[in-house]
Amino acid sequence: RVYMDNHATTRVDPRVVEAMLPYFTEEYGNPGSVGHEAGDAAREAVEQSRATIAAAIGAMPAEVVFTSGATESNNLAIAGVATRRRRRGDHLVSVATEHAAVLGPLRRLEKQGYGLTLLEVEQHGSQSAGRLRPEDLASALTDETCLASVMLANNEIGVVQPVAELALLCHGRGVPLHCDATQGVGRLPVDVGRLGVDLMSFTAHKLYGPKGIGALYVRGSGSGDRPAVRLEPQIVGGGQQQGRRSGTLNVPGIVGFARAVELAVEELAAEVQRLAALRDDLWRRLEALGLGAELCGPGLDAVDQSGGPLRLPGNLDVTFPGLDGESLLLRLGGLAVSSGAACSSSDPSPSHVLRAIGLNEDQARSSLRFGLGRFNTAGDVEFAAEKVAAAAAELKRLG
Ligand code: PLP
Protein backbone atom coordinates (compact mmCIF):
# COMPACT_ATOMS: atom_id res chain seq x y z
CA ARG A 1 0.00 0.00 0.00
CA VAL A 2 1.20 3.48 -0.82
CA TYR A 3 -0.30 6.53 0.87
CA MET A 4 -0.11 9.62 -1.31
CA ASP A 5 -2.98 11.66 0.10
CA ASN A 6 -0.99 13.86 2.45
CA HIS A 7 -3.22 16.91 1.87
CA ALA A 8 -6.08 15.01 3.49
CA THR A 9 -4.03 13.97 6.48
CA THR A 10 -0.65 12.54 7.38
CA ARG A 11 0.66 9.59 9.31
CA VAL A 12 1.64 10.53 12.86
CA ASP A 13 5.43 10.46 13.02
CA PRO A 14 6.58 7.79 15.53
CA ARG A 15 8.73 10.46 17.23
CA VAL A 16 5.54 12.43 17.85
CA VAL A 17 3.74 9.41 19.30
CA GLU A 18 6.69 8.85 21.63
CA ALA A 19 6.51 12.43 22.91
CA MET A 20 2.77 12.13 23.53
CA LEU A 21 2.61 8.81 25.35
CA PRO A 22 3.59 9.93 28.88
CA TYR A 23 0.76 12.47 28.81
CA PHE A 24 -1.87 9.75 28.69
CA THR A 25 -0.76 7.58 31.55
CA GLU A 26 1.80 9.43 33.68
CA GLU A 27 1.28 13.16 33.37
CA TYR A 28 -2.49 13.10 32.94
CA GLY A 29 -3.32 16.10 35.10
CA ASN A 30 -5.64 18.91 34.05
CA PRO A 31 -3.61 22.01 33.19
CA GLY A 32 -6.39 24.04 34.81
CA SER A 33 -5.86 22.37 38.21
CA VAL A 34 -3.90 24.37 40.73
CA GLY A 35 -2.45 23.22 43.99
CA HIS A 36 -1.07 19.83 42.98
CA GLU A 37 1.82 18.54 40.96
CA ALA A 38 -0.26 16.73 38.37
CA GLY A 39 -1.87 20.01 37.30
CA ASP A 40 1.44 21.85 37.42
CA ALA A 41 3.16 19.27 35.19
CA ALA A 42 0.35 19.37 32.60
CA ARG A 43 0.32 23.17 32.63
CA GLU A 44 4.06 23.29 32.16
CA ALA A 45 3.88 20.87 29.23
CA VAL A 46 1.16 22.98 27.59
CA GLU A 47 3.01 26.24 28.05
CA GLN A 48 6.29 24.79 26.80
CA SER A 49 4.50 23.44 23.74
CA ARG A 50 2.79 26.76 23.15
CA ALA A 51 6.18 28.49 23.26
CA THR A 52 7.65 25.98 20.77
CA ILE A 53 4.77 26.40 18.34
CA ALA A 54 4.79 30.19 18.69
CA ALA A 55 8.54 30.39 18.05
CA ALA A 56 8.20 28.21 14.96
CA ILE A 57 5.83 30.73 13.34
CA GLY A 58 7.52 33.87 14.69
CA ALA A 59 4.79 34.62 17.26
CA MET A 60 4.63 35.21 21.02
CA PRO A 61 3.23 32.35 23.14
CA ALA A 62 0.23 34.43 24.25
CA GLU A 63 -0.74 34.84 20.59
CA VAL A 64 -1.38 31.10 20.14
CA VAL A 65 -4.85 29.77 21.00
CA PHE A 66 -5.29 25.99 20.92
CA THR A 67 -8.40 24.63 19.22
CA SER A 68 -9.62 21.26 18.00
CA GLY A 69 -8.22 21.83 14.51
CA ALA A 70 -8.16 24.21 11.59
CA THR A 71 -11.93 24.08 11.09
CA GLU A 72 -12.48 25.43 14.57
CA SER A 73 -9.63 27.93 14.18
CA ASN A 74 -11.23 29.28 11.00
CA ASN A 75 -14.62 29.55 12.69
CA LEU A 76 -13.12 31.34 15.69
CA ALA A 77 -11.17 33.75 13.50
CA ILE A 78 -13.96 34.57 11.07
CA ALA A 79 -17.02 34.58 13.30
CA GLY A 80 -14.98 35.90 16.23
CA VAL A 81 -13.66 38.97 14.41
CA ALA A 82 -16.76 39.64 12.29
CA THR A 83 -19.02 39.60 15.34
CA ARG A 84 -16.68 41.82 17.32
CA ARG A 85 -16.25 44.36 14.51
CA ARG A 86 -19.80 44.40 13.16
CA ARG A 87 -20.47 47.95 14.31
CA ARG A 88 -17.42 49.09 12.35
CA GLY A 89 -18.61 47.34 9.19
CA ASP A 90 -20.25 44.15 8.02
CA HIS A 91 -18.52 43.26 4.78
CA LEU A 92 -16.26 40.23 4.36
CA VAL A 93 -13.80 39.50 1.56
CA SER A 94 -12.40 36.09 0.65
CA VAL A 95 -11.64 33.88 -2.34
CA ALA A 96 -13.72 31.38 -4.32
CA THR A 97 -11.08 28.66 -3.87
CA GLU A 98 -11.00 28.65 -0.08
CA HIS A 99 -11.56 25.45 1.91
CA ALA A 100 -15.07 24.65 3.10
CA ALA A 101 -13.87 25.39 6.63
CA VAL A 102 -13.55 29.06 5.59
CA LEU A 103 -16.48 29.23 3.18
CA GLY A 104 -18.81 27.65 5.77
CA PRO A 105 -18.41 30.31 8.46
CA LEU A 106 -18.48 33.06 5.80
CA ARG A 107 -21.75 31.77 4.34
CA ARG A 108 -23.28 31.57 7.78
CA LEU A 109 -22.41 35.23 8.41
CA GLU A 110 -23.84 36.10 5.00
CA LYS A 111 -27.14 34.54 6.10
CA GLN A 112 -26.98 36.73 9.18
CA GLY A 113 -26.82 39.83 6.97
CA TYR A 114 -23.12 40.39 6.34
CA GLY A 115 -22.00 41.26 2.82
CA LEU A 116 -19.64 38.73 1.25
CA THR A 117 -17.32 39.20 -1.73
CA LEU A 118 -15.64 36.04 -3.03
CA LEU A 119 -12.84 36.88 -5.44
CA GLU A 120 -11.95 34.98 -8.61
CA VAL A 121 -8.45 33.65 -9.32
CA GLU A 122 -6.15 33.24 -12.31
CA GLN A 123 -7.36 30.66 -14.80
CA HIS A 124 -6.27 27.18 -15.92
CA GLY A 125 -3.44 27.33 -18.42
CA SER A 126 -1.67 30.22 -16.71
CA GLN A 127 1.62 29.59 -14.89
CA SER A 128 -0.05 31.13 -11.86
CA ALA A 129 -3.43 29.39 -12.15
CA GLY A 130 -5.28 29.67 -8.86
CA ARG A 131 -3.49 32.83 -7.66
CA LEU A 132 -5.47 35.78 -6.44
CA ARG A 133 -4.46 39.05 -8.11
CA PRO A 134 -3.62 41.56 -5.37
CA GLU A 135 -5.35 44.34 -7.33
CA ASP A 136 -8.60 42.36 -7.17
CA LEU A 137 -8.39 42.27 -3.39
CA ALA A 138 -7.53 45.97 -3.29
CA SER A 139 -10.62 46.90 -5.27
CA ALA A 140 -12.90 44.66 -3.19
CA LEU A 141 -12.01 46.28 0.15
CA THR A 142 -14.45 48.94 1.27
CA ASP A 143 -14.86 51.16 4.32
CA GLU A 144 -17.34 48.54 5.57
CA THR A 145 -14.95 45.57 5.28
CA CYS A 146 -14.40 44.04 8.73
CA LEU A 147 -12.22 41.07 7.72
CA ALA A 148 -10.46 39.52 4.75
CA SER A 149 -9.57 35.82 4.68
CA VAL A 150 -7.13 34.29 2.20
CA MET A 151 -5.49 30.88 2.50
CA LEU A 152 -1.73 30.43 2.31
CA ALA A 153 -1.70 27.29 0.14
CA ASN A 154 -4.58 25.54 -1.53
CA ASN A 155 -5.41 21.98 -0.46
CA GLU A 156 -6.23 20.81 -4.00
CA ILE A 157 -3.98 22.58 -6.50
CA GLY A 158 -1.29 23.62 -4.01
CA VAL A 159 -1.21 27.24 -5.18
CA VAL A 160 0.50 29.61 -2.77
CA GLN A 161 -1.18 33.00 -2.42
CA PRO A 162 0.75 36.29 -2.22
CA VAL A 163 -0.25 36.72 1.41
CA ALA A 164 2.41 39.29 2.42
CA GLU A 165 1.33 41.58 -0.41
CA LEU A 166 -2.34 41.07 0.43
CA ALA A 167 -1.69 41.88 4.10
CA LEU A 168 -0.17 45.25 3.17
CA LEU A 169 -3.23 46.10 1.07
CA CYS A 170 -5.57 45.11 3.91
CA HIS A 171 -3.67 47.12 6.48
CA GLY A 172 -3.70 50.18 4.22
CA ARG A 173 -7.49 50.04 4.60
CA GLY A 174 -7.49 49.14 8.30
CA VAL A 175 -8.79 45.62 7.59
CA PRO A 176 -7.40 42.62 9.50
CA LEU A 177 -6.31 39.62 7.41
CA HIS A 178 -6.99 36.04 8.43
CA CYS A 179 -5.00 33.31 6.73
CA ASP A 180 -5.88 29.62 6.65
CA ALA A 181 -2.33 28.25 6.61
CA THR A 182 -3.37 24.65 7.21
CA GLN A 183 -1.58 23.31 4.13
CA GLY A 184 1.34 25.70 4.49
CA VAL A 185 2.67 25.29 8.02
CA GLY A 186 5.28 22.54 8.04
CA ARG A 187 5.48 22.55 4.24
CA LEU A 188 6.73 26.07 3.55
CA PRO A 189 8.62 28.56 5.71
CA VAL A 190 5.89 30.40 7.65
CA ASP A 191 6.51 33.50 9.74
CA VAL A 192 3.54 35.57 10.84
CA GLY A 193 5.63 38.76 10.93
CA ARG A 194 6.88 38.30 7.39
CA LEU A 195 3.43 37.34 6.13
CA GLY A 196 1.88 40.26 8.00
CA VAL A 197 -1.22 38.24 8.89
CA ASP A 198 -3.38 39.18 11.86
CA LEU A 199 -4.88 35.73 12.40
CA MET A 200 -3.64 32.38 11.13
CA SER A 201 -5.13 28.88 11.36
CA PHE A 202 -3.19 25.64 11.29
CA THR A 203 -3.55 22.06 12.46
CA ALA A 204 -1.35 19.21 13.67
CA HIS A 205 -2.66 16.37 11.51
CA LYS A 206 -1.36 17.89 8.28
CA LEU A 207 2.18 17.94 9.64
CA TYR A 208 2.59 14.40 10.99
CA GLY A 209 0.93 15.23 14.30
CA PRO A 210 -2.31 13.92 15.80
CA LYS A 211 -5.85 14.73 14.68
CA GLY A 212 -8.12 16.89 16.81
CA ILE A 213 -5.63 19.59 17.78
CA GLY A 214 -4.99 22.87 16.01
CA ALA A 215 -4.20 26.47 16.72
CA LEU A 216 -5.18 29.99 15.86
CA TYR A 217 -2.56 32.72 15.90
CA VAL A 218 -4.18 35.96 17.07
CA ARG A 219 -1.94 39.00 16.85
CA GLY A 220 -1.43 40.62 20.22
CA SER A 221 -0.47 44.16 21.15
CA GLY A 222 3.25 43.37 21.49
CA SER A 223 3.99 43.01 17.80
CA GLY A 224 4.57 46.13 15.71
CA ASP A 225 2.44 49.22 15.66
CA ARG A 226 -0.86 47.67 14.61
CA PRO A 227 -3.59 47.25 17.22
CA ALA A 228 -4.15 43.85 18.82
CA VAL A 229 -6.86 41.70 17.24
CA ARG A 230 -9.95 41.33 19.40
CA LEU A 231 -12.35 38.49 18.85
CA GLU A 232 -15.55 37.17 20.32
CA PRO A 233 -15.02 33.67 21.75
CA GLN A 234 -17.09 31.00 20.00
CA ILE A 235 -16.81 28.33 22.70
CA VAL A 236 -17.56 29.65 26.16
CA GLY A 237 -17.37 27.91 29.48
CA GLY A 238 -14.55 27.63 32.00
CA GLY A 239 -12.64 30.59 30.58
CA GLN A 240 -9.48 28.69 29.63
CA GLN A 241 -6.92 30.37 27.36
CA GLN A 242 -7.83 33.83 28.63
CA GLY A 243 -11.44 33.21 27.76
CA ARG A 244 -10.67 32.97 24.06
CA ARG A 245 -11.45 29.24 23.87
CA SER A 246 -12.91 27.42 26.84
CA GLY A 247 -12.50 23.73 27.46
CA THR A 248 -9.93 21.47 29.11
CA LEU A 249 -6.82 21.50 26.99
CA ASN A 250 -5.87 18.40 25.01
CA VAL A 251 -2.50 17.93 26.67
CA PRO A 252 -1.19 14.87 24.75
CA GLY A 253 -2.40 16.46 21.51
CA ILE A 254 -0.69 19.75 22.30
CA VAL A 255 2.58 18.03 23.22
CA GLY A 256 2.40 16.01 19.97
CA PHE A 257 1.55 19.13 17.96
CA ALA A 258 4.64 20.91 19.34
CA ARG A 259 6.91 17.93 18.61
CA ALA A 260 5.48 17.69 15.09
CA VAL A 261 6.08 21.39 14.46
CA GLU A 262 9.62 21.10 15.80
CA LEU A 263 10.41 18.18 13.47
CA ALA A 264 8.82 19.88 10.48
CA VAL A 265 10.90 23.02 11.01
CA GLU A 266 14.12 21.02 11.46
CA GLU A 267 13.56 19.03 8.30
CA LEU A 268 11.85 21.67 6.18
CA ALA A 269 14.65 22.83 3.90
CA ALA A 270 15.72 19.32 2.87
CA GLU A 271 12.14 18.07 2.66
CA VAL A 272 11.01 20.88 0.33
CA GLN A 273 13.73 19.88 -2.16
CA ARG A 274 13.12 16.15 -1.81
CA LEU A 275 9.34 16.39 -2.25
CA ALA A 276 9.57 18.74 -5.23
CA ALA A 277 11.96 16.32 -6.94
CA LEU A 278 9.67 13.34 -6.27
CA ARG A 279 6.64 15.32 -7.43
CA ASP A 280 8.38 16.43 -10.64
CA ASP A 281 9.37 12.84 -11.33
CA LEU A 282 5.78 11.70 -10.82
CA TRP A 283 4.55 14.35 -13.25
CA ARG A 284 7.08 13.30 -15.90
CA ARG A 285 5.96 9.69 -15.53
CA LEU A 286 2.25 10.58 -15.74
CA GLU A 287 2.82 12.82 -18.75
CA ALA A 288 4.69 9.98 -20.46
CA LEU A 289 1.70 7.62 -20.18
CA GLY A 290 0.19 9.14 -23.32
CA LEU A 291 -3.14 9.84 -21.61
CA GLY A 292 -3.09 13.57 -22.44
CA ALA A 293 -2.61 14.39 -18.73
CA GLU A 294 -2.95 18.10 -17.96
CA LEU A 295 -1.57 19.83 -14.90
CA CYS A 296 -4.16 21.72 -12.82
CA GLY A 297 -2.95 24.76 -10.93
CA PRO A 298 0.29 26.71 -11.16
CA GLY A 299 3.40 25.57 -13.04
CA LEU A 300 5.69 23.20 -11.16
CA ASP A 301 8.64 25.58 -11.48
CA ALA A 302 6.69 28.84 -11.22
CA VAL A 303 8.00 31.29 -8.61
CA ASP A 304 6.90 34.68 -7.26
CA GLN A 305 8.94 37.92 -7.36
CA SER A 306 11.02 36.86 -4.37
CA GLY A 307 11.73 33.41 -5.79
CA GLY A 308 9.26 31.56 -3.56
CA PRO A 309 7.45 28.60 -5.20
CA LEU A 310 3.88 29.17 -6.43
CA ARG A 311 3.06 25.58 -5.63
CA LEU A 312 3.43 23.37 -2.56
CA PRO A 313 6.38 21.04 -3.17
CA GLY A 314 4.47 17.79 -2.58
CA ASN A 315 1.37 18.75 -4.58
CA LEU A 316 0.34 17.45 -7.96
CA ASP A 317 -3.17 17.75 -9.39
CA VAL A 318 -3.77 16.25 -12.79
CA THR A 319 -6.75 15.92 -15.09
CA PHE A 320 -6.96 12.94 -17.43
CA PRO A 321 -9.26 13.90 -20.32
CA GLY A 322 -12.05 11.44 -20.97
CA LEU A 323 -11.38 9.37 -17.84
CA ASP A 324 -13.59 9.57 -14.77
CA GLY A 325 -11.52 10.40 -11.69
CA GLU A 326 -13.74 8.46 -9.33
CA SER A 327 -13.57 5.34 -11.53
CA LEU A 328 -9.79 5.71 -11.78
CA LEU A 329 -9.53 6.10 -8.03
CA LEU A 330 -11.44 2.87 -7.44
CA ARG A 331 -9.00 0.95 -9.67
CA LEU A 332 -5.74 2.20 -8.17
CA GLY A 333 -5.42 -0.88 -5.95
CA GLY A 334 -3.25 0.02 -2.98
CA LEU A 335 -2.54 3.61 -3.97
CA ALA A 336 -4.27 6.22 -1.82
CA VAL A 337 -4.82 9.52 -3.64
CA SER A 338 -7.94 11.62 -3.97
CA SER A 339 -10.16 12.73 -6.81
CA GLY A 340 -11.53 16.15 -7.68
CA ALA A 341 -14.83 14.46 -8.37
CA ALA A 342 -15.99 14.54 -4.78
CA CYS A 343 -13.62 16.35 -2.49
CA SER A 344 -15.83 15.70 0.49
CA SER A 345 -17.87 12.56 0.80
CA SER A 346 -21.00 14.54 1.72
CA ASP A 347 -20.86 16.69 -1.42
CA PRO A 348 -21.11 14.90 -4.78
CA SER A 349 -20.49 18.02 -6.92
CA PRO A 350 -17.07 18.32 -8.58
CA SER A 351 -14.35 20.35 -6.90
CA HIS A 352 -15.24 24.05 -6.55
CA VAL A 353 -11.52 24.83 -6.76
CA LEU A 354 -11.07 23.21 -10.18
CA ARG A 355 -14.27 24.88 -11.37
CA ALA A 356 -12.97 28.24 -10.10
CA ILE A 357 -9.81 27.99 -12.20
CA GLY A 358 -12.01 27.45 -15.24
CA LEU A 359 -12.16 23.68 -15.69
CA ASN A 360 -15.51 22.42 -16.90
CA GLU A 361 -17.42 19.74 -14.96
CA ASP A 362 -15.97 16.89 -17.03
CA GLN A 363 -12.40 18.07 -16.60
CA ALA A 364 -12.97 18.54 -12.88
CA ARG A 365 -14.42 15.05 -12.62
CA SER A 366 -11.40 13.62 -14.45
CA SER A 367 -8.82 14.78 -11.95
CA LEU A 368 -6.65 13.11 -9.36
CA ARG A 369 -4.80 14.82 -6.55
CA PHE A 370 -1.47 13.43 -5.41
CA GLY A 371 -0.09 14.65 -2.09
CA LEU A 372 3.45 13.50 -1.47
CA GLY A 373 4.75 13.51 2.06
CA ARG A 374 7.48 12.63 4.53
CA PHE A 375 7.13 8.88 4.20
CA ASN A 376 6.99 8.68 0.40
CA THR A 377 9.94 7.34 -1.57
CA ALA A 378 11.10 7.19 -5.19
CA GLY A 379 9.69 3.65 -5.28
CA ASP A 380 6.26 5.01 -4.33
CA VAL A 381 6.36 7.38 -7.29
CA GLU A 382 7.10 4.52 -9.65
CA PHE A 383 4.29 2.46 -8.08
CA ALA A 384 1.85 5.38 -8.43
CA ALA A 385 2.58 5.91 -12.12
CA GLU A 386 2.19 2.17 -12.78
CA LYS A 387 -1.12 2.05 -10.94
CA VAL A 388 -2.48 5.00 -12.88
CA ALA A 389 -1.37 3.42 -16.16
CA ALA A 390 -3.06 0.11 -15.30
CA ALA A 391 -6.27 1.77 -14.08
CA ALA A 392 -6.49 3.96 -17.20
CA ALA A 393 -5.92 0.94 -19.46
CA GLU A 394 -8.69 -0.95 -17.67
CA LEU A 395 -11.11 1.96 -17.99
CA LYS A 396 -10.33 2.33 -21.69
CA ARG A 397 -10.92 -1.39 -22.20
CA LEU A 398 -14.29 -1.07 -20.53
CA GLY A 399 -14.96 1.83 -22.92
N1 PLP B 1 -8.30 24.32 5.78
C2 PLP B 1 -7.62 23.66 4.82
C3 PLP B 1 -6.97 24.42 3.72
C4 PLP B 1 -7.54 22.27 4.86
O5 PLP B 1 -6.88 21.61 3.91
C6 PLP B 1 -8.19 21.58 5.92
C7 PLP B 1 -8.15 20.09 5.98
O8 PLP B 1 -8.86 19.40 5.33
C9 PLP B 1 -8.87 22.32 6.89
C10 PLP B 1 -8.90 23.68 6.79
C11 PLP B 1 -9.58 21.64 8.04
O12 PLP B 1 -8.65 21.24 9.01
P13 PLP B 1 -9.06 20.33 10.26
O14 PLP B 1 -9.23 18.96 9.72
O15 PLP B 1 -7.92 20.41 11.22
O16 PLP B 1 -10.29 20.89 10.84
pTM listed for this prediction: 0.97
Question: Over the Cα atoms of the chain, what is R_g?
Answer: 21
Q: Is 296 part of the annotated catalytic residue set? A: no
Can you give the pLDDT at residue 225? 72
What is the SS3 assignment for the chain? CEECECCCCCCCCHHHHHHHCHHHHCCCCCCCCCCCHHHHHHHHHHHHHHHHHHHHCCCCHHHEEEECCHHHHHHHHHHHHHHHCHHHCCEEEEECCCCHHHHHHHHHHHHCCCEEEEECCCCCCCCCCCCCCHHHHHHHCCCCEEEEECCCECCCCCEECCHHHHHHHHHHCCCCEEEECCCCECCECCCHHHHCCCEEEEEHHHCCCCCCCEEEEECCCCCCCCCCCCCCCCCCCCCCHHHCCCCCCCHHHHHHHHHHHHHHHHHHHHHHHHHHHHHHHHHHHHHCCCCCCEECCCCCCCECCCCCECECCCEEEEECCCCCHHHHHHCCCCEECEECCCCECCECCCCHHHHHCCCCHHHHHCEEEEECCCCCCHHHHHHHHHHHHHHHHHHHHHC
Pairing of strands 367-371, 64-67: unpaired
Point out the ligand 1 atom lying closest to the alpha carbon of residue 155: 5
Number of other residues whose CB lies within 10 A of the CB of residue 214: 28
**Residue 316 pLDDT level (bands cut at 50, 70, 90):** very high
pLDDT tier at 313, thresholds 50, 70, 90:
very high
| CB contact at 8 A, 53 and 261 | yes
Nearest CA to ligand 1 atom 7: 8
Angstrom CA distances, 168 to 131, 195, 310, stand at 17, 9, 19
pLDDT over 90 (residue 387): yes
**What is the per-residue pLDDT for 226?**
79
Average pLDDT in the 109-118 region? 98
Residue to mutate (ligand 1; options 67, 203, 257, 346; most atoms within 8 A of CB): 203
Structure ipTM over 0.95, yes or no: yes
Give the binding-site residues of ligand 1, using a 6 Å CB cut-off.
Answer: 69-71, 99, 101, 151, 155, 180, 182-183, 203, 214
Q: Which atom of ligand 1 is nearest to the CA of 151?
A: 3
Its sign, for the CA torsion 123, 312, 164, 47, is positive
Ligand 1 atom 6 nearest Cα = 182
pLDDT by residue (tens digit) across 8-55? 999 999 999 999 999 999 999 999 999 999 999 999 999 999 999 999
Q: What is the pLDDT of residues 329-380, one digit of tens each?
A: 999 999 999 997 654 556 668 999 999 999 999 999 999 999 999 999 999 9
pLDDT of residue 87: 87
Residue type, 60: M
Which one is catalytic: 170, 179, 296, 343?
343
For 133-160, how does the pLDDT look when each residue is reduced to its tens digit (9 = 90+)? 999 999 999 999 999 999 999 999 999 9
Domains and CATH numbers, the chain: 2-8+268-398 (3.90.1150.10), 14-258 (3.40.640.10)
Percent residues over pLDDT 70 in the chain:
97
Q: What separation in Å is there between the alpha carbon of 74 and the centre of ligand 1?
A: 9
Phi/psi at 317 (nearest 5 deg)?
-130, 125
Q: Which amino acid is at 48?
A: Q
- Centre of ligand 1 from the C-alpha of residue 71, in Å: 6
What local confidence, expressed as pLDDT, does residue 345 receive? 54
